[in-house]
Structure 1
Amino acid sequence: MTYDIAAPEPAGMVASLSSLGYSLPAAIADLVDNSISAKASTIDVEFTWAGPDSWIAVIDNGEGMTADDLVTAMTVAARGPAAQRSASDLGRFGVGLKSASFSQARQLTVATATDGEWNVRTWDLDVVEKFGQWRLLRGADKSTTALLDKIRSTTNHGTVVLWRRLNGYHDVTEDDERTQKQFYAEATRVESHLGMVFTRFLTGSRRRTMRVSGTLVDPWDPFLSTHPSVQRLPVEDLPFGGGSVRVEAFVLPSAQRLTSAECDKAGGPRGWLDQQGFYVYRRDRLILAGDWLGQRGVRREEKYNLARIAVDIPAEMDVEWGVDVRKSSVVPPVGLRPHLRRIAMQTRRRASDVLRHRGQVAARTHGDPLLYAWKVQRSDDTVTCRINRGHPLVKAALRPGGGNPDDVRALIRLLEETVPITALRVMHETDTSDDPEPFGGPGPADDGASEVAQRIYEAMVTDGRSPAAARERLRTMPPFDQMQGFWNS
């Protein structure tokens, strides 16, 4: 047959790779994957504020790469998902380094050495777009080279991945204290995310040392597996496709069996409500944290906050589980869904029993103050329900001189749609299942939901967040985390 060569245009491909929806923590986790695959024992993530010249780097003491290996690593999709990989390789598509980096910066420089000789290559997206060619630059410009010399240690092997010209910072000044504070707040988020994703690599005999701006990353065990009061359900090995999927369910202790510090930590980076559900691991790397895998009628409710389930899938089952490029979502195979649902329902019943008969719920008290419009607490046998003054719409409505009428209307609608009925039921130890769905439930957002989301988005941007950070926050903010709208694009 005759054929045409239809090669993708570089600028369009760059735009596509830059728009895969990486958050900054997820993008850095993709780089850390490469460091672990390179058998690094120490991994440092450095954030340095310098206004428009701010930079982020990931430095490891792994095996490093030869010049040829470096060019392969810098080539988009040089190795597809079917390529042979070592047992320690956490990659899949061969685009993680590039797509993660292009989503965050206009310049990606990698310096690597195996035996003392450092090889350097640079992707400058301005150059790619100007010439319409995949021009991988050898070496780096003078200022980047000077920066690399400062970053590199005296070791004769390892890799440095350096991001410069960071997205969202090109029009700021070095003395912009609010943006500087936001920049370092991102470092704290990265630290928390890495502690969750790489817990199994930060503990045990294979322990790595991981730091973010000099602070040791603290592993976060979502299952409180060493706590004497945690309930473990029997481990199940579900056969599938010539292999098996390991599933272990946990019911965490009630709040009264945890110290205040333990309760705060167990709530996780996103808070108790958003951390319940399945935790899917691939080669010990966390892919998905706290999700009910889209099972019909199975949704997040406070009475199931103590239910967490570990699922270990072999890397060979990536296709069957629909592991995406960002390694942040999965879709379970049809043949396993009934078993996962059965385990989920059993774990949820156990968790509900603990809260109903023995526990106090830590509902909406340990999560991000941006997420919930209501705060429900139980203290000294008294239940309180308060509007969250830290929510962006509430802050906008309370500004001196009165809030914008559109903000106030959006706030009122949000409060109407998210009355914390479920939390109050759990607090009062009841057990019903007729809880309302905000804005009509999951799926495409209607006009009302989109209008409220738009006002929240604008309020966050006005308050100093970048547009990308505001959309990312909306994607995790109930009830918009269960909907499709402009924040997902």
Structure 2
Amino acid sequence: MPDRFDIAAPDPAGMVASLSSLGYSLEAAVADLVDNSVSAKATKIDVAFTWDGEGSWVAVTDNGTGMSLPELITAMTPAARGLGAERTAEDLGRFGLGLKTASFSQARQLSVSSRAAGEEWHTRTWDLDLVEATRQWRLLHDADAETTRILDLLRRDLDGGTVVLWRRLNGYGAEETDADQTTQQQFYDDANRVERHLGMVFARFLKDVDLRVQGQPVPAWDPFMTGHPSLQRLPPEDLAFGGSSVRVEAYVLPSAQKLSKDDYNAAGGPRGWLRQQGFYVYRRRRLILVGDWLGLPGMRQEEKFNLARIAIEVPAELDAEWSVDVRKSKVVPPVGLRRHLKRIAQRAREQSADVIRHRGQIAARRHGSVFVYPWRVDRPDGRIKCRINRDHPLVMEVLRTDAERRKVLKALLTLLEETVPVEALRVMHEADAADDPIPFGGDPSQHEEAVARAVQAALINQGRSPAEAKAMIRDMDPFSRLRGFWSE
């Protein structure tokens, strides 16, 4: 092996620029800090956003195991722990870059203060302006007076653990910050976005970890609605690969018609229904990829697949095979698993499309009793026609009038049939929106009871007994989905 060589050390200024430009979003960067807190076995983690114009700051505080001074210096050194470093089962890291790259992407100053059991607090600071000016990796001892004041405030109620503080935030410098209410609102809107993201990424930890943003507990977000009775679960599969097992569980969520407005909005998640469909990849219980079809051939996001969501549990030892990136936000499935993943995805997508397009109602309307539905769907000449059911007892009762008035009512019915808002219905039907019209729905109100009473009176007028009339109403849409006097 040649023994002549040059030391080609990277320029600190160029390296800082590179590490700061890895494409972290704010929420992904904060999540990387929370990873470290979880790995340190913290049971309480606080994320704080404090507005002060160009002096605004963000901090993540935990009560975990903390670090000794040598451990802190290692944690602050870029890539000090590489891929081959031994990690515990709770360690969510991979490259040893997360703390630095996440922080450098959001702030020009990073201070970390930590205290392990039986030790004092140790603090180290990166000032990127100083690194670029001196072209040296000068890791500063302690911090300036204002940073120390903030650290003291954050450590006040901690016996041990770690505080990570970002100051001189990107986008909030003296020339960039307009210290008005709009900018301040944007700052706190960012905090709200971070909260929603953390609730999604760390949902599986929140039973054991008290995670808070701005002092408020972060609610866990379950993308699969596992507690809902109308959820469809496909059989789970354990796919063998690389000496390990990759567990895949596919779900088809309930349609909007079976969800309350609040449940529908919550199930849409932080990114909305369209961008939440697809695979959810977990690594050590931490969500690392949210709603993506993994680049599988022929699979793209479409409204009709909104209900299809699939969980994948990837063992950490398969990081390399899945090409987990530095930000833990992108994966590429191994070639040997792609056909199985595509097969599972196709089945979930087909069931999602079936639920959204059909909802099991059109067939029932075609084959049900003549009195059940106020509308009929026919194909008299190969084209779909929506017709008001003239055999419905309420329609029959209305038409029992003098010839002149009956003529006007029939004209009205024909007008309604010929002006069905097909385009608007198609849009609602395909998107399956939460605000789709639902016939009555829920417990019957006085208005709905009055309609049922009118139907009962019409049936009795047409020769049915009261008991027969109630039995017929029980089979009618939408009363078959409600409880009322006809259910007694």
TM interval, short-chain normalised: 0.7 to 0.9
Give 1:198-217 correspondences, 5 Å limit: 198-203=202-207, 207-217=208-218
Matched, 1:271 2:272: yes
**1:315-338 deviation line (CA, Å, top 9, x unaligned):** 000110010000000000000000
Q: Which residue of 1 aligns with 2:19?
A: 17
Give 1:89-168 correspondences, 5 Å limit: 89-115=91-117, 117-168=120-171
**1:7-34 deviation line (CA, Å, top 9, x unaligned):** 1111111000000000000000000000
The Cα of 1:177 is off from its aligned counterpart by: 1.3
Give 1:151-300 correspondences, 5 Å limit: 151-170=154-173, 171-172=175-176, 175-203=179-207, 207-300=208-301
CA distance in 2 between partners of 1:427 and 1:345 (Å): 24
The answer to whether the 8 Å contact 1:65/1:113 transfers is yes
Look up the SS of the partner of 1:288 in the other structure: strand
For residue 190 of structure 1, what is the amino acid of its counterpart?
V
The answer to whether the 8 Å contact 1:255/1:359 transfers is no
The Cα of 1:427 is off from its aligned counterpart by: 3.7
The answer to whether the 8 Å contact 2:277/2:309 transfers is yes
CA distance in 1 between partners of 2:424 and 2:342 (Å): 23
The Cα of 1:254 is off from its aligned counterpart by: 0.8
The Cα of 1:428 is off from its aligned counterpart by: 4.2
**1:108-158 deviation line (CA, Å, top 9, x unaligned):** 000000135100000000111111111100111111111111111332210
1:50 to 27, 49, 52: 52
Distance 1:229 1:15, change over 3 A: same
Give 1:54-69 correspondences, 5 Å limit: 54-69=56-71
The answer to whether the 8 Å contact 1:306/1:351 transfers is yes
For residue 204 of structure 2, what is the amino acid of its counterpart?
R
CA distance in 2 between partners of 1:111 and 1:248 (Å): 41
The Cα of 1:425 is off from its aligned counterpart by: 5.2
CA distance in 2 between partners of 1:73 and 1:42 (Å): 20
CA distance in 1 between partners of 2:164 and 2:179 (Å): 26
CA distance in 2 between partners of 1:24 and 1:311 (Å): 25
The Cα of 1:233 is off from its aligned counterpart by: 0.6
The answer to whether the 8 Å contact 1:356/1:426 transfers is no
The answer to whether the 8 Å contact 1:78/1:94 transfers is yes
CA distance in 2 between partners of 1:233 and 1:326 (Å): 31
CA distance in 1 between partners of 2:249 and 2:343 (Å): 13
The answer to whether the 8 Å contact 2:281/2:287 transfers is yes
Length-normalised TM-score, structure 2:
0.73
Distance 1:100 1:424, change over 3 A: farther
CA distance in 2 between partners of 1:357 and 1:143 (Å): 62
Distance 1:422 1:129, change over 3 A: farther
CA distance in 1 between partners of 2:194 and 2:122 (Å): 28
Look up the SS of the partner of 1:278 in the other structure: strand
Look up the SS of the partner of 1:15 in the other structure: helix
**1:274-328 deviation line (CA, Å, top 9, x unaligned):** 1000000000000100000011111111111000000000000011001000000
For residue 216 of structure 2, what is the amino acid of its counterpart?
T
**1:47-74 deviation line (CA, Å, top 9, x unaligned):** 0000000000000000000000000000
For residue 191 of structure 1, what is the amino acid of its counterpart?
E
Distance 1:5 1:303, change over 3 A: same
Distance 1:7 1:173, change over 3 A: closer
Distance 1:322 1:151, change over 3 A: same
Length-normalised TM-score, structure 1:
0.73
Look up the SS of the partner of 1:358 in the other structure: coil
Distance 1:245 1:176, change over 3 A: same
The Cα of 1:216 is off from its aligned counterpart by: 1.2
The answer to whether the 8 Å contact 1:254/1:359 transfers is no
For residue 153 of structure 2, what is the amino acid of its counterpart?
K
Distance 1:261 1:334, change over 3 A: same
CA distance in 2 between partners of 1:344 and 1:164 (Å): 44
The answer to whether the 8 Å contact 1:256/1:359 transfers is no
Which structure 2 residue ranges, 5 or more long, are not aligned?
362-421, 432-488
Q: Which residue of 2 aligns with 1:390?
A: none
Look up the SS of the partner of 2:326 in the other structure: coil
The answer to whether the 8 Å contact 2:282/2:314 transfers is yes
2:10 to 1, 8, 12: 8
The answer to whether the 8 Å contact 2:171/2:177 transfers is no
Give 1:298-447 correspondences, 5 Å limit: 298-358=299-359, 427-428=428-429
The answer to whether the 8 Å contact 1:38/1:63 transfers is yes
For residue 344 of structure 1, what is the amino acid of its counterpart?
A
